[in-house]
Amino acid sequence: MSTLMLHCGGEPVTAEELATITPASVAKANGTEYSPTYMPVDHTELVQTVRTEISSALGDQFSFRSANYGVRKNGAELFGLLSWKPTVIDNPNFGLDVGIVNSLNYRIPVRFAGGVSVFICDNMALSGDVLYARKHTKNVWDSIMGKIGQLADSASDTYTKAITDIQQLSKCELQDNRAYEVFGRLYGNKILTPRMLTAAVKDWHTPRHEQFEPRSMWSLYNCANEAMKKHNPNRIVEAHKMLHSEMVNCLSIEGGSLKKESMHAELALGYNNLVPAIA
């Protein structure tokens, strides 16, 4: 899963609360009027459209999981995170997410970020595998609808690659000594800090979750992923991409040495929800 961080004046809101915030209510609260060339995009209409269109494009491979919303500037600025879970793999920490940023006060264009791992913050930070931005000008909705379709297609491709990687990682069995070797690479390449390394190894020895129990590369991946919840939020997406890249490079262990295996390493299977999910 991904991260929605509110620490710069943003406040979490429910879907019902978000529905009460409209372009008209924001303009009235601020005592302003929109210019003829500014086309405000209603927060609720935007998130509902994204949810409907992405769900339709993904089909039966995914089901909707949760939505998180935050606002600031009296509701003028929206930060949202929509999440879908796969129907073919039972892992609560894996899915597809779309981050949404919007404003009703001229300050921020409509922005999307999609992928397996998305980071969105009320300090305007937004990152993911696919990025898109559009100003609030004429034909803004036509552009939004076109980009949503592209986002869904890219998300499906990302999902397919991730499933392949997970299957390979799950098949790669590890004994403790080989696991230590992989942990050492993660530490040596500055993917895990000393504190994260200690936590990950502890989870490897004494699994706290079902996903940690198999002695495989995938369970080690999950141990490292859990430890990285303590990572600097501003670097969490990049850190998870580094983790994924290193793990797929360590898939084959032969003769006591790590052999690089050529695979796609474009995804970050990170999770660290900081705002309660709203069904």
- Tokens 């994924």 correspond to what residue? 244
* pLDDT tens, per residue, the chain with 279 residues: 566 767 677 789 999 999 999 999 999 888 888 999 999 999 999 999 999 988 888 888 788 989 999 999 889 999 999 988 877 766 555 678 888 999 999 988 998 888 766 656 655 566 566 678 888 999 999 988 888 878 877 766 776 777 788 888 888 999 999 999 999 999 999 999 999 999 999 999 999 888 788 999 989 998 998 888 777 656 666 777 788 888 888 875 433 334 443 333 333 333 333 333 333
Q: Is 209 helix (H, G, I), strand (E, B) or coil?
A: coil
pLDDT of residue 117: 63
The amino acid occupying position 102 is N
pLDDT of residue 275: 36
Report the run of H or E that residue 81 belongs to, with start and end: strand 77-86
Give whole-number Cα distances, 41 to 15, 22, 83, 134, 260, in Å. Answer: 16, 9, 21, 11, 48
pTM for this predicted structure: 0.67
Written as six digits, the tokens of 244 are 């994924």
- Tokens 């992923």 correspond to what residue? 225
Residue ranges per structural domain of the chain? 3-159, 165-259
- Tokens 């295996």 correspond to what residue? 261
pLDDT of residue 165: 82
Longest dimension (CA), the chain: 72
Q: Is 65 helix (H, G, I), strand (E, B) or coil?
A: strand
Q: Identify which of 169, 171, 195, 187 has the alpha carbon closest to the alpha carbon of residue 269.
A: 169
For the four alpha carbons of 147, 149, 152 and 158, in that order, the dihedral sign comes to negative
Residue 193 to residue 112: CA distance in whole angstroms: 31
Taking residue 98's Cβ as centre, other Cβ atoms within 10 Å add up to 27
For the four alpha carbons of 241, 63, 10 and 108, in that order, the dihedral sign comes to positive
The full 3-state SS of 101-165, as one line of letters, equals: EEECCCCCCEEEEEECCCEEECCCCEECCEEEEECCCCCHHHHHHHHHHHHHHHHHHHHHHHHHH
Q: Is 257 helix (H, G, I), strand (E, B) or coil?
A: strand
